[in-house]
Amino acid sequence: MRVIATAGHVDHGKSTLIQALTGTHPDRLAEERRRGLTIDLGFAWTDLPSGERLAFVDVPGHERFVPTMLAGVGPVPAVLFVVAADEGWKAQSAEHLAAVDALGVRHGLLVVTRCDLADPGPATAQALARIGSSTLGGVEAVAVSARTGEGLAELRAALGRLAERLPDGDADSPVRLWIDRAFTVRGSGLVVTGTLGAGRIRRGDVLVTARSGRSVRVRALHTLGEETGLVRATARVAVNLRGLDKESTGRGDALLTPDSFLPCLRCDVRVHGGAPAAELPRTAVAHIGSAAVPVRVRALGQETARLTLPAPLPLRIGDRAVLRDPGLRRVLAGLTVLDPQPPELRRRGAAARRAAELGAADGVPCETSELRRRLLVRRGELTAMGVAVHTAPVAGDWLADPAHWAALRVRLAELVAAYLCERPADDGVPVEAARYRLGLPAVSLVEALVTPPLRLSRGRVTAGTGEPPAPVTDAVRRLTAELDGRPFAAPPARRLAELGFGRRELATAVHHGAVLRLAEHVVLLPDAPRLAADRLSRLAQPFTVGEASRALDTTRRVTVPLLEHCDGQGITQVLPDKRRRCAPRRRPAAVTAAG
C-alpha cells in the first residue's frame, strides 16, 4: 500500500476530485458536506491500474485548519498538490507548500482541477514554478475535471508512476504510529487511526502510548476497511485497543514499540527554509508527526536552536517538523531534529560551543558522528534515537568513541602513576576514585580500561609488577637471607623494621609482588604457598593446623594465615571438622599426535 496526502487550497474541489478517483467522498462530517469545506482529516483509497493500492489522506485547505492539515501531512511520504484552474495560486497554497517544504516531503504530483471552467495552462505554469523551488522539486502535472471526468485516466496513470517512486516503509523498524483520530465503537471500544510509516503491527501485540506510557494490547486491526491480522509499513491503519479509553489519548499521541523510543523534553534542531534561528520568536508551535505542541525556542547559532517541549514526545534523529506562529498564521521555518537527548547548557558560552558541535550535523543518524559527539553512550539509548549500531560495546552496553576511549586509557595510566607516587604505601587507586576522577558514569568502564601494564587488585587499579626501588630491593634481599633454610619463619614486626621494611617500603614491596603479606606483620617470600603445598602434601591427609605448623617449622601466627591463603588459592581445602587436606593436583590433559 502507498499513502499520499492531498494538499492545496481548493476544499470542495479537492474532495470532489478524491470522490471521482475512489468512489468515496472523504468528508465525513455533515457540516463539511453542507459548507463544502474540509474541516477534519478525511480518508479514501483506490486501486491503481498497476494493482497498487493507494490511500488518500485528505487534509483541510482553509487557513483556519492548517494545524489539522499538518497532522495529516506530517507522517505521509508524498503529497497530491491541488490547484484550481479558475483560481490559480493563492496565499493558502503558499502556506501549504511552505509546510510541505519544511517537512522535507520529496515526492508529489500537481493536479490542476476545474479545467472545464478555465484554461489550466497559466495555473499549471505558476504552480510548477513555485513547487520547483521546494523539496518536491520538479513534479509531474495533470489537468483534470472531476465534473466531466476529463483527465482522470491520465491522473490515475500519473499516480501509478508516483507510487512506483515512493520508498518502501521499513517494516523491521520499531512501530511509531502517530495517532490522527481516536473514537469509540460500540461493542469494540477504542479505535485509533494513523499512517504507519515504519514497523509492523500484529493482532495481539503489546504497544505503549507516548503520552501516558501505558501498555495497550492490539485487539483488532483494520486497513482500508478490511480486518487483518498484520499490517506492514507503509499503510493507513485503524487499531482497536484494549486497556485505554478515549480520554487518555487522541491526536498527537503515538503508539510505540516498547523500549524503542526515549521521551524527549528538549531537542536540538537545524532551522531551515525560513528566518535565521536568532530571529525566531521565543515561543511558537511545533508540528511533529500528528502533534502540535507549544515550544520555547533558544537560538544556539545561525542555523541551530534548542526546543523545550511541555510534555515528552518520542523523537528520533532526522525527524522533520514545522515551526509555526499560530497568531500570524504562517510557517516560520522547517526543523530537522539533530539531537533528541542533548546535554544541558549550564556555563557561559555553552550555546555557542553547542552550535559549533552541531555544525556538521545533517540529521542523518550516523553511529560514528554520534559517538564522536557523545563520547560515551549506552547502546539502547543510541538505537532509540534511530542510530544503527555496529560497534561492539567497551563494557556492558556502553559504547565509546575510539579516540576518547584511547585518551581515557592514557589518563588512567597517568592517574595511577601520580597516585602511587603520592601514596606508595597504598595498593593502587580505588576503582570508584578513578571513576570519579575520569568523570565516568559507571565503575565497569574503569575496569574495562585496565590493560597491561595496569591491573585490577582487590577493587583498586595498580601498576604491573616491575623492579621496586633500590631500598626495597635491598630489604627483600635481606629478608631472603633471613628465611634461607626456614622459609616459613616470618620475622616479627621489630625484625622487619631492622631488615628495612618500614610501612612505605613494605607496601611498595607488596605492590611489586616482591613479598607476600599474609596478615599484619606476617610477611613471607612469594613462593611460600608453593613450598607449603609441597610439604603439606607429604602429611597424612587430612591434617590439623598443629600438624601443619610442625611440618612447616613455624608457629600458628604464620600457619593460620598461610593456610587461609592456600585455601583461597585452591591449594588446600577445609573440611567440616576444620581439618584440611591438599587439593588434588590437576593432571595434564592427554595429548595425541597424528601424522
Please state whether 578 falls in left (phi above 0), alpha (psi between -120 and 50) or beta: left
Q: How many percent of the chain have pLDDT more than 70?
A: 90
H helical segments located in 103-204: 120-132, 152-165
54: pLDDT confidence band, cut at 50, 70 and 90? confident
- Closest CA relative to residue 580, chosen from 589, 572, 592, 569: 572
Neighbours of 516 (CB within 10 A): 18
Q: Is the pLDDT of residue 40 over 60?
A: yes
Q: What is the pLDDT of residue 448?
A: 94
What is the pLDDT, as a whole number, of residue 381? 94
Assess whether pLDDT exceeds 70 at residue 63.
Answer: no
Return d(Cα 561, Cα 234) in angstroms, integer.
71
For residue 590, the model assigns a pLDDT of 42
pLDDT tens-digit map of 126-173: 999 999 999 899 999 999 998 898 999 999 999 989 988 888 888 889
Q: Which three cell numbers stand for residue 145?
A: 475535471
Q: What pLDDT does 57 receive?
A: 80
- Whole-angstrom Cα distance, residue 554 to residue 483? 11
pLDDT of residue 426: 67
How far is CA 458 from each of CA 311, 446, 452, 455, 468, rounded to the nearest angstrom? 46, 14, 16, 10, 20
Q: Which residue has the higher pLDDT, 592 or 339?
A: 339
Single out the residue of 519, 527, 482, 520 nearest to residue 500, CA to CA.
482
User: In angstroms, rounded to a whole number, what is the distance separating the alpha carbons of residues 125 and 140?
Assistant: 12
Domains of the chain by start residue, with CATH: 2-165 (3.40.50.300), 176-256 (2.40.30.10), 364-464 (no CATH), 470-582 (1.10.10.10)
The pLDDT value recorded for residue 248 is 86
Average pLDDT, the chain: 86
Residue with cell 506562529: 325
Give Rg (Cα) of the chain.
Answer: 37
- Is the CB of residue 410 less than 8 Å from the CB of residue 421? no
Q: What are phi and psi of 80, to 5 degrees?
A: -100, 105
3-state secondary structure of 298: strand
Residue 55's pLDDT is 84
Which one of 2-11, 45-54, 550-559 scores highest in mean pLDDT?
A: 550-559
Task: Say if residues 220 and 240 touch (Cβ distance below 8 Å).
Answer: yes
pLDDT of 231-257, one tens digit each? 998 888 999 998 888 888 988 899 999
How do residues 462-498 score in pLDDT, each as one tens digit?
A: 876 556 767 888 999 999 999 999 999 999 999 999 9
- Say if residues 183 and 170 touch (Cβ distance below 8 Å): no
d(CA 268, CA 279): 16
Helix axis angle, 470-482 to 503-511, nearest 10°:
90
Give the integer Cα–Cα distance in Å for 430 and 61: 67
Helix (H, G, I), strand (E, B) or coil at 532: helix
Q: How many residues in total does the chain contain?
A: 595
Q: Which helix (H) or strand (E) holds 232?
A: strand 230-232
Give how far Cα 279 sits from Cα of 24, 276, 369, Å: 45, 5, 29
pLDDT level of residue 595 (50, 70, 90 thresholds): very low
Beta bridge partner(s), residue 270: 304, 336
Give the residue-averaged pLDDT of 328-353. 89
588 — phi, psi (to 5°)?
Answer: -65, 145
Contact (Cβ atoms closer than 8 angstroms) between residue 10 and residue 38 = no
The per-residue pLDDT for 37 is 47
More confident of the two residues 61 and 409: 409
Element (DSSP H or E) covering residue 333: strand 330-339
Mean pLDDT across 560-568: 93
pLDDT over threshold 50, residue 271? yes
Residue 313: which residues within 8 A CB-CB, separation 6 or more?
210, 254, 263, 264, 288, 289, 291, 293
pLDDT, tens digit (0-9, with 9 covering 90-100), for 355-379: 999 988 888 999 999 999 999 999 9
Instruction: Count the Cβ atoms, other than its own, within 10 Å of residue 564.
Output: 14
Q: What are phi and psi of 102, to 5 degrees?
A: -65, -35
pLDDT of residue 24: 72
Greatest Cα pair distance in the chain: 118
pTM: 0.74
63 or 295, higher pLDDT:
295
Please say whether the beta carbons of 71 and 251 come within 8 A: yes
First to last CA, the chain: 64
75 pLDDT tier (thresholds 50, 70, 90):
confident
Whose CA is closest to 53, among 18, 4, 1? 1
Residue 225: pLDDT band with limits 50, 70, 90: confident
* Among 330-334, 369-373, 554-558, the least confident range: 330-334
What single letter denotes the amino acid at residue 127?
A
Amino acid 9: pLDDT: 61
> How do beta strands 291-299 and 398-400 pair?
unpaired
Q: 39 pLDDT exceeds 70? A: no
Question: Burial level of 181, CB count in 10 A (0-12/13-18/19+)?
Answer: middle
**Distance between CA 569 and CA 155 in Å, rounded?**
83
Return the closest-CA partner of residue 387 out of 366, 373, 404. 366
pLDDT of residue 27: 54
- Residue-wise pLDDT for 426-462, tens only, equals 678 899 999 999 999 999 999 999 988 888 888 889 8
Cell numbers given for 538: 607429604
What is residue 67's predicted lDDT score, i.e. its pLDDT?
66
CA distance 216 to 205: 8
The string over 347-362, giving b where at least 16 C-beta atoms fall within 10 Å of a residue's C-beta and e elsewhere, is: eeeebeebbebbeebe
pLDDT exceeding 90 applies to what percent of the chain?
Answer: 51
pLDDT of residue 32: 44
Per-residue pLDDT reduced to its tens digit, 195-204 = 888 899 999 9
